[in-house]
Amino acid sequence: MFALIDCNNFYASCERMFRPELVGKPVVVLSNNDGCVIARSNEAKALGIPMGAPAFEYDKVFKTNQVHVFSANFALYGDMSQRVMDVLSDFSPDMEIYSIDEAFLKLQGFDNYNLQDYATKMRQKVMKWTGIPVCVGLAPTKALAKLANRIAKKYPDITQGVYVIDTDEKRIKALKWLKVEDIWGIGGQHAKKLNQHNIYTALDFVLADTQWVKTNLAIVGVRLQADLQGIQTLDLEEVQPKKSIATTRSFETNYTKLEDLQERITTFAVSCAEKLRKQHSCCQSLMVFVRTNRHLQQMPQYSRNIVLQLPFATNSSIELTKFALQALQMIFKNGYSYKKAGVIVQDFTPQNQAQMTIFENSNPRHIPLMQAMDKMNTLYGQQKVRLGIQDTKKVWKMKQEKLSPRYTTKLSDIITVNV
DNA sequence: TCTGGGGTCCTAGGACCC
DNA sequence: TCTGGGGTCCTAGGACCC
């Protein structure tokens, strides 16, 4: 059996954990730049605030309903996530952390356990040790565990946050209940196609002709179909080093000058380089993109990216910056208001197996230099040591008007208890 | 005025090889 | 009218996830 544990309204729950007076009140969390709604408490959902809603369009709704609005505080969410995962890891030796707020547990050799009770214990322990509410779905396959979790979330009063699919009868009933667009792995495009073929529920999907599914949804669809029949095709996945690393941002204001973008692109390249070094990889290609605000169609639009194949593999901030700025130079055009840009690195090789090339190589002296920079930045705070081209005085800031303290990761932000 | 960020996998088709 | 057969590798784009 697989268990899927999913935190309820995770970011909103993290904020509420340290503001208990907000329990039972509508809470939303906004994306970077306070742009879109990316998490909602149940009360906020009930007000009809959709996922991804632009915040400015809902200002009125927030005000009239006294919705508590937070800027995204990823330092807090990341740390809380780790605490939840630590608790869960006690419940099975086989665990896959699927996302910041979800984990699969494989329960092999648990035949003599009452899984309903076991899952209830998970919930209680996570709640007691971290303060985060979770729901648990149990089933013979991952796709069905996802479905079971959905039922647990949807009917908290009946399920008490735990639902087990362990008989064919329950499986059929669940499949009949689930809309095809809500199947894990079926998105909007596929759902549309399936609807046109008179497939509306997960049960319809399971019963659909496999050849047809293969033609229209490819092999992924076929696997999913089997998994939903209770035939295990998806297994826990090992943690893999990343295959691409991105740093991209929307800007609070528009940039028109090359120099402004150069500073941003440098910072993005440095950030990619730091992430690369963290996983001990070097990259051999790098992409830079810039774009104008696509929401303002009345403005002249421009969007371009360029991929550079690097002459050697590197994770040096200095070298990656040099290449990223070359790339920017090639795609930058005067006369546009830029709203978003980013750097994405790809084609990784392990750091310790860098291939020497005949003509040009990564500067070996950068290795100790980068180690020293990383060390200092860890010790004294991010970005304390920067490249000269990076912004030294004004320190580019994104809009974060409702940022909560970093309760669990910053000494000065720890809450005070008055006895 | 204001509209996020970061990933993965699969496939078709082109370029190339013998 | 007719112009082989069988591969591999790479890339762009589409779809999905949180």
CA dist A269 and A225 (Å) reads 41
Calculate the alpha carbon distances from A29 to A10, A69, A266 in Å. Answer: 10, 6, 29
Question: Based on C-alpha coordinates, what's the Rg of chain A?
Answer: 24
> Which residues, listed in sequence order, are joined to residue A144 by a DSSP beta bridge?
none
Per-residue tens of pLDDT for chain A, all 419 residues: 999 999 999 999 999 999 999 999 999 999 999 999 999 999 999 999 999 999 999 999 999 999 999 999 999 999 999 999 999 999 999 999 999 999 999 999 999 999 999 999 999 999 999 999 999 999 999 999 999 999 999 999 999 999 999 999 999 999 999 999 999 999 999 999 999 999 999 999 999 999 999 999 999 999 999 999 999 999 999 998 999 999 999 998 899 999 999 999 999 999 999 999 999 999 999 999 999 998 888 889 899 989 998 989 999 999 999 999 999 999 999 999 999 999 999 999 888 876 666 667 888 889 999 999 999 998 887 788 888 888 766 556 788 999 999 999 988 999 988 88
C1' (C18) to CA (A102) span, angstroms: 9
Residues 336-375 of A with CB under 7 A from strand B: 339-340, 342, 344
Calculate the alpha carbon distances from A182 to A5, A96, A133, A177, A190 in Å. Answer: 17, 22, 22, 10, 11
Nearest to A25 by CA among A70, A73, A66: A66
Residues 201-240 of A with CB under 7 A from strand B: 218-220, 240
Task: Find the nucleotide nearest A146 (Cα to C1′).
Answer: C17
C1' (C9) to CA (A366) span, angstroms: 33
C1' (C6) to CA (A218) span, angstroms: 25
Rounded to two decimals, the pTM is 0.93
C1' (B1) to CA (A247) span, angstroms: 25
Nearest to A289 by CA among A345, A348, A344, A347: A344
